[in-house]
Chains A and B, each alone.
Chain A
Amino acid sequence: MNSLMVKALAFSATLMIATVVIVKYMNIDLSDPVNIITLLGAAAVAFLTFGVSAKYINQMKTDKSTGELADESWDGIGEYKNELPAGWAYSFLGTIIWGVWYWLAGYPLNAFSQIGQYNEEVKAYNTKFEAAFANPDQATLKAMGESVFLVQCAPCHGETGDGMSGKAHDFTSRISKDQVLAVIKNGSNQLGYPMGAMPPMLAQGADAEAIAAYVAGGMQGTAPAAFATCAGCHGADGKGNNGAAPNIAGYDETLISNVLTHGKKGAIGVMPSFKTRLTPVQEKALATYIQTIKG
């Protein structure tokens, strides 16, 4: 050990002492491992910097040049024919081998895929969702239905579901007089019920008016005689014969699900299909929530 090494060690020791003094002075909390690690890192940097530079400065001072010179002479400056340092040579070789592996197998077989990551995210979420809502009770369904409604339905039907003064279907009642008249006039074959298409013009004039007033009024009191035509498919109570035809007395799960799947073009405008945008549980929740919307 010569004087240079001693000076270097002394200097790094001074730096470390200065660090410790600063730590004490600033009341740094050493129970936090991050601060300990930082302190140790500072010490290591000081020690390595001065240790390594001292070693090489020393070598420059004392080393004698030996070995065979290469043929070239660059303006009088020669170059020794040195072997590559072993560590350097092996890492170079290793990099080449790794490069070939990465090009042929590493990247093509293990590449990151955005869509793959997305698919995994969706799959994990769906599994969690199914487990959490395997047997939802009414309160859970209603809460879920309300949140689905606010995101997917409210932009057209309004946050309260009132259709925003005729801009979309009004959920506070089942159906309006204009809507009934439009369906009687144009018929309907949009919702995919087993009963199939409803032909246009099954009732006309005063009969149609009477039916519309009766249905829009919530089917209270005695049915007009012309309603018998409707009852053939929709049932005398208007509930659609257990899902054979649309329920015109109220909202049920079949109706909500069919409208969501097929969309609807009616007296007010067009509702696009929401097929595949909601899970079956969400559709059921939506039906539960819509049944609770009352004027």
Chain B
Amino acid sequence: MFHWLEKNPFFFAVGVFLVIAFAGVIEILPSFAEASRPVVGLKPYTVLELAGKNIYKNENCITCHSQLIRPFKSETDRYGQVSLSGEYAYDRPFLWGSRRIGPDLHRVGNYRSTDWHENHMMDPKSVVPQSIMPAYPYMFTKMADIDTAYAEALTVKKVFATPYDAPNGTKLGTLEESRAAALEEAKVIAADMKNKEVKDAVARGEIPQIVALIAYLNRLK
């Protein structure tokens, strides 16, 4: 048999391919099956949260903040439960980050509140004296881009079958509907804020960047 293989290099190559491919398949397939499932109860981002996530990406928060809690007691004591792969199922892209110049933010919604973020984004040193984080006062006057966030949500709904508009899930609807829903969410957040310009803007029907960003940060749980 092996003499026959030695005389027929084509079939020898096919045999080698089959053996290596089999080994690869049994190693790789199980991790695919495991990784692609969202955790129970995970809902896709609302349009306002997505707009906040876009600001997070835009401002390169990922350069200094990670979103991945590793399984060490020192980390779970400070940041909360270990991160699971299924929690990132609707993150496109996920924002794990690789540096921690600032703290991890994967569960920041559990231990910081809207009013804290408001103080902190306006002037980080006013709440954390040793902070080296820059201030972001322009987020209180620049408006968030809700339409782009809607386009993104609609794209992932159509292309990747992200379960928007599922029963008990995140509602997406038409552009007008989602603009209205984002404004409703923004009103709830603005009610907990003190900045007058932000409150006025939301009352006028506009959504400042800070509101979208806080919506996103509060969602990180």
Using Cβ atoms and an 8 Å threshold, which residues of chain B touch A151?
78
Q: Decide yes or no whether B73 CB sits under 8 A from chain A.
A: yes
Q: Decide yes or no whether A114 CB sits under 8 A from chain B.
A: yes
The answer, among B6, B72, B110, B127, for a CB contact under 8 Å with A164, is B127
Q: Decide yes or no whether A277 CB sits under 8 A from chain B.
A: yes
Q: How far is the CA of A117 from the CA of B71 in the complex (A)?
A: 8
Tell me which of B42-50, B112-120, B160-168 binds A: B112-120
- Chain B proximity mask over A112-154: 1 for CB below 8 Å, otherwise 0: 0011011001100100000000000000000000000001100
Pair B71/A118 contact, Cβ less than 8 Å: yes
Q: How far is the CA of A125 from the CA of B116 in the complex (A)?
A: 32
Q: How far is the CA of A118 from the CA of B133 in the complex (A)?
A: 31
Q: How far is the CA of A122 from the CA of B192 in the complex (A)?
A: 37
Q: Decide yes or no whether B111 CB sits under 8 A from chain A.
A: yes
**Known contacts A115-B71, A122-B73; A272/B129 CB under 8 A:** no
Question: Chain A: which residue is nearest B81 at the CB level?
Answer: A276
**Known contacts A72-B3, A118-B72, A118-B73; A164/B114 CB under 8 A:** no
Q: Decide yes or no whether A224 CB sits under 8 A from chain B.
A: no
Q: Decide yes or no whether A225 CB sits under 8 A from chain B.
A: no
- Tally of B interface residues using CB under 8 Å: 23
Q: Decide yes or no whether B128 CB sits under 8 A from chain A.
A: yes
**Which A residues between 242 and 295 are near B, CB-CB below 8 angstroms?**
268-272, 274, 277
**Known contacts A270-B115, A272-B112; A167/B71 CB under 8 A:** no
Pair B115/A164 contact, Cβ less than 8 Å: no
**Which B residues between 90 and 137 are near A, CB-CB below 8 angstroms?**
110-116, 119, 126-129
Q: Decide yes or no whether A156 CB sits under 8 A from chain B.
A: yes
Using Cβ atoms and an 8 Å threshold, which residues of chain B touch A158?
127
- Chain B proximity mask over A218-253: 1 for CB below 8 Å, otherwise 0: 000000000000000000000000000000000000
Instruction: Write the nearest CB–CB distance from B6 to chain A, whole angstroms.
Output: 8
Using Cβ atoms and an 8 Å threshold, which residues of chain A touch B80?
277
Q: Decide yes or no whether A155 CB sits under 8 A from chain B.
A: yes
Instruction: Write the nearest CB–CB distance from B210 to chain A, whole angstroms.
Output: 15
Q: How far is the CA of A42 from the CA of B197 in the complex (A)?
A: 77
**Which A residues between 6 and 36 are near B, CB-CB below 8 angstroms?**
none
Pair A121/B192 contact, Cβ less than 8 Å: no
Q: How far is the CA of A156 from the CA of B192 in the complex (A)?
A: 16
Q: How far is the CA of A155 from the CA of B127 in the complex (A)?
A: 6
**Known contacts A118-B71, A121-B73, A151-B78; A270/B127 CB under 8 A:** no
**Which A residues between 167 and 203 are near B, CB-CB below 8 angstroms?**
167-168
Q: How far is the CA of A270 from the CA of B118 in the complex (A)?
A: 12
Question: Chain A: which residue is nearest B78 at the CB level?
Answer: A151
Q: Decide yes or no whether B143 CB sits under 8 A from chain A.
A: no
Pair A118/B115 contact, Cβ less than 8 Å: no
Using Cβ atoms and an 8 Å threshold, which residues of chain B touch A167?
115-116, 119, 126-127
Pair B73/A268 contact, Cβ less than 8 Å: no
Pair A270/B71 contact, Cβ less than 8 Å: no
Q: How far is the CA of A43 from the CA of B77 in the complex (A)?
A: 52
Pair A271/B113 contact, Cβ less than 8 Å: yes
The answer, among A121, A159, A269, A274, for a CB contact under 8 Å with B114, is A269
Pair A156/B78 contact, Cβ less than 8 Å: no
Question: Chain B: which residue is nearest A123 at the CB level?
Answer: B73
**Known contacts A115-B82, A125-B73; A272/B113 CB under 8 A:** yes
Instruction: Write the nearest CB–CB distance from B17 to chain A, whole angstroms.
Output: 20
Q: How far is the CA of A151 from the CA of B77 in the complex (A)?
A: 10
The answer, among B77, B78, B113, B128, for a CB contact under 8 Å with A269, is B113
**Which B residues between 56 and 99 are near A, CB-CB below 8 angstroms?**
71-73, 76-78, 80, 82
Using Cβ atoms and an 8 Å threshold, which residues of chain B touch A117?
71
Pair B110/A156 contact, Cβ less than 8 Å: no
Pair A270/B111 contact, Cβ less than 8 Å: no
Instruction: Write the nearest CB–CB distance from B9 to chain A, whole angstroms.
Output: 13
Using Cβ atoms and an 8 Å threshold, which residues of chain B touch A272?
110-113
Using Cβ atoms and an 8 Å threshold, which residues of chain A touch B6?
72
Question: Chain A: which residue is nearest B77 at the CB level?
Answer: A277
Q: How far is the CA of A153 from the CA of B72 in the complex (A)?
A: 22
Task: Please provide the 9 A-B residue pairs with the shortest distance between their CB atoms, ordered closest to farther.
Answer: A269-B115, A118-B71, A270-B113, A114-B71, A122-B73, A167-B119, A121-B73, A272-B111, A125-B73
* A-B contacts besides A118-B76, A155-B128, A269-B192, 16 pairs, CB < 8 Å: A117-B71, A118-B72, A118-B82, A152-B111, A155-B112, A155-B116, A156-B112, A167-B119, A167-B126, A167-B127, A268-B115, A269-B113, A271-B113, A272-B112, A272-B113, A274-B111
